Amino acid sequence: MVKSYLRYEAYSSFGVISSPSGNAVFDHSGRYSITPALEKVIVWNIKKGVQIAQWADSDNKAEVTRIARSPNGKDYAVGYADGSIRLFDLSSNTVNVVLNGHRGSVSALVFDPTGTVLASGARDTDVIIWDVVGEAGLYRLRGHKDEITAIAFVEPAGDPLTALNASTRGHVVTSSKDTLVKLWDLRAQHCVQTLVTHRSEVWALAVSPDSRLLVTGTSDAELRVWTIATDKLDSISDEHGEVTAKDATRSWEAISEYGVVRRASNGRVMELQFHPSGQYLGSLSTDRLAEVFRVRTQAEVKKKMARRQKRDREKHKKETQTGEVDDTGDMGETAMEVTAADELESFKTVRTSAKPVSLDFDPSEADAAVVSRRGGVRVLISQNNNALHMWSVAVPPAGKTTKQANLPEPSLACSVEMLGHRTEPRALALSSDSELVASAANKSLRIWNALTGACVRTLDCGTAICAAFLPGDQFIVVGTKEGMLELYDIPAAAQVETFDAHDGAACWAIDVHPDKKGLVTGGADKCVKFWSFELVRDQKAGGAAVSRRRMTLEHTKTLQMSDEVLAVRVSPDGKLLAVALLDTTVKVFYADTLKFFLSLYGHKLPVVSLDIASDSTLLVTGSADKSVKLWGLDFGDCHRSILAHQEPVTAVRFVWGTHYFFSAGKDKLVHQWDGDNFQRIQKLEGSHGDVWALAVARHGNFVIASSQDRAIRIWQKTDEPLFLEEERERELEEMYERGLEEPVDQPGADSAAGVGRATMETLKAGERVMEALDLADEERHKWEQYEEQRRRMPLLQPAPPETNPVLLFEKLSPEAYVLRTIERVRAADLDDALLVLTFDRVLSLMAYIDMWAQREWNTALTCRVLFFLLRTHQNQIVATRTMRSRLDSIRQSLRGGINTQRDQVGYNLAALSSLKTEWEVGATAEFFDDKAIQGIVDAQLKKRKFVGLKA
């Protein structure tokens, strides 16, 4: 009989506030923050520091790399490391659209002003323009030679963009690591200007809200500012007829150099962003500095130029009087040129506590009146130490300059820090009832509820390396890199006592004795020390004893070793002590007399973790040589050596009551093994960094791992059976599918190319369409034969053929079943799914398209499928004589259907316009009274105002 196991499935993950791989953004109201959390997206209430929602797609395992906010305030585009883009709805917290087109990690993402067009850039050097409404890619822009770093839309100066012309009007500016900044015409789908003045990678760019200024940032200490002549761009876009690439290049001078602005930081620019009001510019650099620049108004610029001219005249007059310069003209009449330094001034700087990752302004401050009432602008900064900060930068009130206002320095308004470690947790410990889990990192110790993921306690500690709960789960002991043992009282959330356990050398391991009377520690001072638990009474300052007793540790004996101790473990029966040394050996001693028993050698590198089975007969060791070895504790023989991971093994743990064990390594994986037949049972994926620590529940109900990505992940045991052969087949299928999805380079492609990427979803969708076509063709062929028999033998009356069970279940005709199958394909995957069809099935599909056109079924989808097939198989279709009559029939039928659709849309638009006019006439005074609205807003601000009291 084949042995079966129970499968472990990912249950939850916690401890991540904001991952450094992506950017954090405000929501449209400025109350929430949308932040990346590895493969998930978390919505935080910034002021309360609580999680509001969590966005995740079960089909996705890639890390979030970019987030963009839509102007409609509801949709958010999320880019991933595998090149996919998902659109989430903030109101429902669900995935609406999945877009696949990039072959590399998404590095830039931005919506156009209408919210109907999305531009994305990735490490594959391509820029893709997406139709958000149609859920499909429009075209791919190629021209850059390195990763795309930033994208920005340029609004036309004439008529504003609308949802109907957003994808065919306007321009896009892109920057890349190839030192180039390119301007693209969306109508011509061509690059119309390239800025080549940068001498290093362009890391960020920003376009002002009025599309007048363009700012680029590199690794030097200057920001380059450019002016955009939108009227020249509109002169090209407003031409009637088809715009060619040659015509579009006539606007090559649309972007001209304006000047440079010095930064206070010497690190490279990470992000640039204009404030929604256009009055401020934010610059983020790698040296923990965020700078806010102020954009002077035209009146301030003129005043500054007048003062400069006055100083120049006085200087010229003085030099003339001294005879140094001849009086050749009136300097007051000389026109001085305005530069970028005259318009942009350094306003305030924010010093962050760690390296920043992203910067975002509050979008609700688009109106300057809102900024004036608040008295400052709010800046959201995410840091690479798993923290999220919101800063308040005071601004001068209206009518006052910066010097007159005497503004304070930027202040930290609120932050989200308590729900995660600043550094990676290196140790995990489970309570005896497996309800609490402790994670220890550098300078912090946190206690979590294992089921809910809530942080119960947060304590300050040293550089933690190992940790263990003491009997009763009221106390926890932590071993540090400084060689200290720190004892903490969990209910009191306080440190009780510290012990210098290993004379300044690192304390690498802690294990509680099975009799619950003491513990064993091992350190880099070549000593294994034994400690016993004692109860003592605390004394107050006056000498009176308190009634509450607490636990303490008392050193009882020491075992001197020949090398540094890396791991220790006492057998569950309390008879043996296993010690792993730096010399790659494992020494086994009798626990009571400490006499030497066994020496286990065979690893090529030191053993970093070991564990003993619950029956005390089997020992497992994990080493930095990537192998796991199983040893018998009766004679010390090696049962099996397994190459367990592709990187060094970091932790091994047995499941209580079995010989199953888990191993973790720096290859980001956790494996489950059977210690009896030496087979791998299951591979647990999900971590995005080196797995450092591992903990298994008492009876293997779940397993917990902490990794370099600061996440604590839980895999829970389910009731689903697992068979080894089926698991190996599934892993081979996944490997085969990954090979099918490998990108295929297309050398020599034009600057504008098609959008699409083959994925398993598109391949499976194409297979479903082919199956539907085969089923429908077979059904039609049976009925055609039946009708032919009836025509030839009218008196015989043959029996009608049996209808396919699928069609009977769906209650559809063959042509309707094919249409339903295509409708079920996601719009973003439809083009790639149709590419899978062979030409004979394309001809079959054209016959069904003719039927759909005649019956006016889903005219929009019919047109899309028809046009794609004609573009893809034009040469073959033209060479097929039988298709001429079919195409004529489709053309005549589609024209009628399209005219009907056009008339219906026009009628609906006219009706909506009429309703809007009637509503505006009757409701303007009620809903658009500015004074009433302003009064309501002022009242709300007054209620929320905080008053400070002085003593």
**Residue 127 C-alpha from the chain's centroid:** 19
Please calculate the CA angle 618-620-623 and round it to the nearest 5 degrees. Answer: 160
How far apart are alpha carbons 573 and 575 in whole angstroms?
A: 6
Q: Quick one: pLDDT at residue 290?
A: 94
How far apart are alpha carbons 726 and 1 in whole angstroms?
A: 15
Answer yes or no: are the C-beta atoms of 75 and 87 closer than 8 Å: yes
How far apart are alpha carbons 711 and 547 in whole angstroms?
A: 41
Q: Quick one: pLDDT at residue 826?
A: 86
Q: Quick one: pLDDT at residue 746?
A: 44
Q: Which helix (H) or strand (E) holds 672?
A: strand 670-674
How far apart are alpha carbons 279 and 367 in whole angstroms?
A: 10
Helix (H, G, I), strand (E, B) or coil at 389: strand
How far apart are alpha carbons 131 and 135 in whole angstroms?
A: 6
- Beta-carbon contacts of 452 under 8 Å, excluding residues fewer than 6 positions away, are none
Please calculate the CA angle 777-782-788 and round it to the nearest 5 degrees. Answer: 120
Question: What is the torsional sign of CA 451, 453, 456, 460?
Answer: positive
- Beta-carbon contacts of 833 under 8 Å, excluding residues fewer than 6 positions away, are 762, 763, 765, 766, 769, 825
User: 397: how many CB neighbours lie within 10 A of its CB?
Assistant: 12
Q: Quick one: pLDDT at residue 937?
A: 56
With tokens 């079959």, the residue in question is 844
With tokens 């009780």, the residue in question is 496
Structure tokens at 886: 């079919």
Structure tokens at 547: 């009634």
Q: Quick one: pLDDT at residue 162?
A: 62
DSSP one-letter string for 103-133: SS-EEEEEE-TTSSEEEEEETTS-EEEEETT
Q: Which residues pair with 822 in a beta bridge?
A: none
Q: Quick one: pLDDT at residue 946?
A: 39
Answer yes or no: are the C-beta atoms of 169 and 162 closer than 8 Å: no
DSSP one-letter string for 260-303: EEE-S--SPEEEEEE-TTSSEEEEEESSSEEEEEEE--HHHHHH
Q: Quick one: pLDDT at residue 234?
A: 67
Structure tokens at 793: 């033998």
Answer yes or no: are the C-beta atoms of 198 and 216 closer than 8 Å: yes
Q: Quick one: pLDDT at residue 934?
A: 56
| C-alpha to C-alpha distances, 672 to 6, 146, 451, 675, 824, nearest whole angstrom | 11, 41, 22, 10, 38
Among candidates 690, 638, 682, 633, which has minimal Cα distance to 666?
690
Backbone angles phi, psi at 799, to 5 degrees: -75, 140
Q: Quick one: pLDDT at residue 128?
A: 94
pTM of the predicted protein model: 0.86
Structure tokens at 96: 């609406």
Structure tokens at 116: 């109907």
Answer yes or no: are the C-beta atoms of 116 and 129 closer than 8 Å: no
Q: Quick one: pLDDT at residue 244?
A: 57
How far apart are alpha carbons 84 and 741 in whole angstroms?
A: 12
How far apart are alpha carbons 58 and 842 in whole angstroms?
A: 33
With tokens 């494996």, the residue in question is 671
CA torsion 389-390-391-392 (nearest 10°) is: -160
* Ranges under pLDDT 70 in the chain: 1, 157-168, 234-252, 323-336, 399, 401-405, 539-547, 740-754, 756, 923-951
